[in-house]
Amino acid sequence: MLKVRLMGTKNDIKWFGKILQRNPKIEVTEFSDLYPNKGTKRFHRAYVEVRKSNVKEKQ
């Protein structure tokens, strides 16, 4: 499992999130809300958890 921070404009983050969700090799397990970056109104961040598709994690 990977935890990834996306940073950019709202549109860029949404665009890349759709790419991640459509990719058959990975499964998006969690996608956070958008948070504004301090000091700017243009850029935001979001946090995503992904893992390889068809792979069971040890519990």
- What's the CA gap between 43 and 38, in Å, rounded? 9
What is the C-alpha radius of gyration for the chain, rounded to an integer number of angstroms? 13
* pTM listed for this prediction: 0.82
Per-residue model confidence (pLDDT) at position 54: 80
Q: Give the model confidence (pLDDT) of 2-53 as tens digits.
A: 999 999 999 999 999 999 999 999 999 999 999 999 999 999 999 999 999 8
Vertex 3: Cα angle to 26 and 9 (nearest 5): 90
